[in-house]
Amino acid sequence: MLPVATGLTTFFPRSEEIVRASREFERGRRTRAELDQLTVRGEGIVTALEERLGLSWVTGGHLGVHDLFRPLVDSTEGMMTGPLTRWYETNTFYRRPVAEAPPRLNVRKLAYHLPSASGKASVILPGPWTFARLTEDRRTGAPHDLEAQLVSVLEGAIVALRNAGFAQFILHEPELVVRPPAGPAAEQLLREYSGLRAALGKSSGLVWTYFGNAGPVLPLLARLPVDGVGVDLSETRPSDLRSWTASQELGLGCLDARTSLPENPEDIAKIARELLSRLSPRGLVLGPGVPLDLLPETAAIRKLEVLGKARMLLGGHPA
Amino acid sequence: MTLFPTQEVGSLRKPFWLVEGLRGKGISAVAEKELAHWSQTVPIHREPDPRAARLDPAGLPMLSPADLRDLGSLFGLRYLEKAGLDIVYDGEMRRVEMYEYPVRQATGFEFLGHVRSFDNKYYLKAACVGEVGLRAPYHVEEFQFIRDHAKGIPKVPVTGAYTLADWSWNEYYLNRQKGWKGRAERKAAQREFAVEIARKVVRPTLRALADAGAKILQIDEPAAGTHPDEADLVAETFNESTQGVDAKFVMHICFSDYRSLFPAVFEAKRCSQFLLEFANRDRGGIDGYEELQYFADVNDHREVGVGVLDIHRDEIETPELVAQRVLRAAKILKDPAKVYVNPDCGLRTRSLDVAWKKLTSMVEGTRLARSQSQ
């Protein structure tokens, strides 16, 4: 039977308690230490939720992270946070990464919390294409290879986090399906991913795409040297995956955080069965499509609970 | 109407005496100082309303929340009038934000919790869980107060149906779509949802405001640029909202890629004026007003409310810069009569001092532009 993994492939929303505390922090009514303590406790609660739901890995939800790029930007010399920028077609914003000088990672500043020492800890990082495309280049007199320099930052982060105990890396690549590379840029990206593969070593690497239809870029996705590739099922119709030939794990982003309405697990199982009847992935991964932190905590939990039900319908068991 | 009418757009920062007064825990020294400062420039304590005479540290604790809100509204109104604006409101002194209040007046919604906007900033977001309806038209009493006190021409801002829909989750209408809820189903349900809000929430409110005497209604659509493929829905909901309502309509959009909205948004047939942000993008050698060219290219007949004040920076635009921007807009549009002058958006994020300096500079710069345009 095909292995079916389920897991949190995106950030998780902060609890109402952390929302209140972070607002109080902004108003000077709480200290940074108090907020950090609450955040770590909140990540413990999310980890417990992931374990209770039988998910295949744990993340802790990355509750302390402000946006996909911030931990890397904050720990990289030569980079700074730029203007608030709309996060694709949402009412959420991120601070655009800005490279002012050749970026150099300072691993001691990397602030990801290991959610569990169980060997099932997973961490979310930006993929190289998205990182490069959404970074503003303000370097002067620097070589024109920002993308390669950002890949070095990613490689350094992966090695450091692997050494810290993370076993799985989920690389977010919305830009790969919204504004995909073509021609030489695609070939360069494949070379960069080969470098990342080396940094990953025996750890698992999952590329997660969303906000766009993965159909047109399937040939490129199939060539990525990673363990699995995820697609946003709200943007990618099952028929768009017709030409999927890859042997990687197929990730189905089947929880849509653009709506608070919980998905029907039977719908998810039906789509998965239909896809498996004609595709031959190495395994199946079920997770949120777009980041779950577009929802409040209660709605996100309701959605996450659907994953286990869908897995059961597919005959899978907790990994 | 004079050439290049000046107008307000949205909210001002609330004075400390109003915020602290409504909290009911006494007035701080900072609030007292601010009150004394503004009583020189905007002396509402001399208004005929007997409650205004209590607007001092001794009298403030005796004012009820309703009195405070009225006086806050009066302060915002006089502040804008005294700054010299032709078209005014009250700086939205009674409002806390532009989403939650209208949604609370509607039926079929349920607030689910806070969602992060960015960093440690959040907003309370509702889901539509039933058919959309309206308890009662809103903003009407607020407008009546302004109508009875305004010396300038009042313009009422109302959050648009498209934005109310975009900032909510759509469970009820999406759930009516059968099977897997992919992009096509989501878009179809969103259209139904937004149009329902236009017909059942915004339209009755606009009608009630018009019936109460509002002559200019500004429909705020900050979400308009979020989904480029829904520009036609912005226009459709505008048309649905304004149908059968007798008033002049303005559409305010800001911090969006306008090119993604053109030409579909021009289908908003009853829109007499597009009020847009430009000053924010007019810097670093970039001509922030070049997108006005589109209006000239398509020979659109409508007025344009031209943003000449950057609301995110404390730096005060000089009257000369304002005049230059106004005249540049007039030149691009090939018709000075189409140009209205305003800040990019509400000045709520600036202090009252900075906002005052910006607005008075805008008024002076517009006078300069008028004299140079003759």
Does residue A176 form part of some domain? yes
Which amino acid is located at B341 in the chain? V
Distance (Å, whole) CA A215 – CA B152: 57
Query: What is the value of pTM for the model shown?
Result: 0.91
Instruction: Examine residue A23 and state whether it is found in any structural domain, yes or no.
Output: no
Compute the mean pLDDT over every residue in chain A, rounded to the nearest whole number.
Answer: 94
Instruction: Concatenate the DSSP letters of all residues of chain A into one string.
Output: ---EEE---S--PPPHHHHHHHHHHHTTSS-HHHHHHHHHHHHHHHHHHHHHTT-SSB-GGGTT-SSTTHHHHHTEEEEEEEEEEE-SSSS-EEEEEEEEEEEEE-GGG-------SSS-BEEEEE-HHHHHHTSEE--SS--S-HHHHHHHHHHHHHHHHHHHT--EEEEE-HHHHHS---THHHHHHHHHHHHHHHHHTTSEEEEE--SS-SGGGHHHHHHS-SSEEEEETTTS-GGGGTT----SEEEEEEE-TTS-SPPPHHHHHHHHHHHHTT---S-EEEEESS-GGGS-HHHHHHHHHHHHHHHHHTT----
Q: How close does chain B come to A295, measured CA to CA in Å?
A: 6
Residues 6 or more apart whose CB falls under 8 angstroms from that of A183 comprise none
CA nearest neighbour of A268 among A283, A287, A249, A246: A287
Within-domain flag for A28: no
Q: Which of B120, B169, B228 sits opposite A25 (nearest CB)?
A: B120
- Sequence-distant (6+) residues with CB within 8 A of A279 are A241, A244, A250
B117/A92 Cβ within 8 A: yes
d(CA A174, CA A238): 18
| Nearest-10 crossing angle of helices A16-26, A32-52 | 160
Size of interface A-B (CB pairs under 8 A): 90
pLDDT of residue A145: 87
Predicted local distance difference test score (pLDDT) of residue A35 = 97
Does the CB of B227 have a partner CB in chain A at under 8 Å? yes
Which of A91, A94, A266 should be substituted to probe chain B, the one whose Cβ sees the most B Cβ atoms within 10 Å?
A91
What is the Cα–Cα distance from A274 to A279, expressed in whole angstroms? 9
Rounded to whole angstroms, how far apart are CA atoms B31 and B352? 12
| pLDDT digits 0-9 by tens, A160-204 | 999 999 999 999 999 999 999 999 999 999 999 999 999 999 999
State how far the Cα of B69 lies from the Cα of A279, in Å rounded to an integer: 64
Q: Is A174 part of a structural domain of the chain?
A: yes
Backbone angles phi, psi at B4, to 5 degrees: 50, 60
- Which of residues 146 through 175 in chain B touch A, CB cutoff 8 A? 166-167, 169-171, 174-175
Q: Is residue B128 a contact partner of residue B120, using CB atoms and an 8 Å limit?
A: no
Q: How many domains does the structure of chain A reveal?
A: 1
Mean pLDDT for the stretch of residues A273-277: 92
CB–CB contact A271 B181 (8 Å): no
Q: Are A236 and A213 in contact (CB under 8 A)?
A: yes
Does A253 fall in a domain? yes
Here the tokens at position A213 are: 């239809």
**Closest approach of chain B CAs to the CA of A86, in angstroms?**
8
Interface probe with A: pick from B99, B110, B111, B114, most Cβ of A within 10 Å: B114
Q: What is the CATH number of the domain that holds A219?
A: 3.20.20.210
Name every chain B residue with its beta carbon within 8 A of the beta carbon of A22.
120
Residue A319 belongs to some domain of the structure: no
How far apart are the CA of A264 and the nearest CA of chain B, in angstroms? Answer: 8
What is the predicted pLDDT for the residue at A84? 85
- Please list the pLDDT of chain B residue by residue as tens digits (374 residues): 899 999 999 999 999 999 999 998 888 999 999 999 999 999 999 999 999 999 998 999 899 999 999 999 999 999 999 999 999 999 999 998 899 999 999 999 999 999 999 999 999 999 999 999 999 999 999 999 999 999 999 999 999 999 999 999 999 999 999 888 888 999 999 999 999 999 999 999 999 999 999 999 999 999 998 998 999 999 999 999 999 999 999 999 998 888 889 999 999 999 999 999 999 888 877 888 998 999 999 999 999 999 999 998 999 999 999 999 999 999 999 999 999 999 999 999 899 999 999 999 999 999 999 999 97
Q: Do B167 and A91 touch (CB under 8 A)?
A: yes
Look at residue A22 and tell me if it is in a domain.
no
Range of the domain at A104: 4-12+38-313
pLDDT at A18 over 70: yes
Give B116→chain A minimum CA distance, Å.
7
B167 to chain A: which residues are within 8 Å by CB? Answer: 91
Rounded Cα distance between A125 and A69, Å, is 7
Give me the amino acid identity at A219.
P
Flag if B118 and A92 touch (Cβ within 8 Å).
yes
Nearest CA to B328 among B317, B318, B339? B339
Give the pLDDT band (50/70/90) at residue A207.
Answer: very high
3-state secondary structure chain B: CCCCCEECCCCCCCCHHHHHHHHCCCCCHHHHHHHHHHHHHCCHHHCCCHHHHHCCCCCHHHCCHHHHHHHHHHHHHHHHHHHCCCEECCCCCCCCCCCHHHHHHEEEEEEEEEEEEECCEEEEEEEEEEEEEECCCCCHHHHHHHHHHCCCEEEEEEECHHHHHHCCEECHHHHCCCCCCCHHHHHHHHHHHHHHHHHHHHHHHHHHHHHCCCCEEEEECCCCCCCHHHHHHHHHHHHHHHCCCCCEEEEEECCCCHHHCCCHHHHCCCEEEEEECCHHHCCCCCCCCHHHHHHHHCCCCCEEEEEEECCCCCCCCCHHHHHHHHHHHHHHHCCHHHEEEEECCCCCCCCHHHHHHHHHHHHHHHHHHHHHHC
| Alpha carbon of B281: minimum distance to chain A alpha carbons (Å) | 13
**Is A177 inside a domain boundary?**
yes
CB A279 within 8 A of CB A244: yes
Structure tokens that stand for A216 in this block: 């047109």
Cis bond upstream, residue B263 (ω within 30): yes
Q: Taking every pair of C-alpha atoms in chain B, what is the biggest distance, in angstroms?
A: 65
The whole-number pLDDT of residue A116 equals: 87
Q: How many CB atoms lie within 10 A of CB B225?
A: 22
ipTM: 0.92
Measured between CA atoms, the residue of chain A closest to residue B175 is: A261
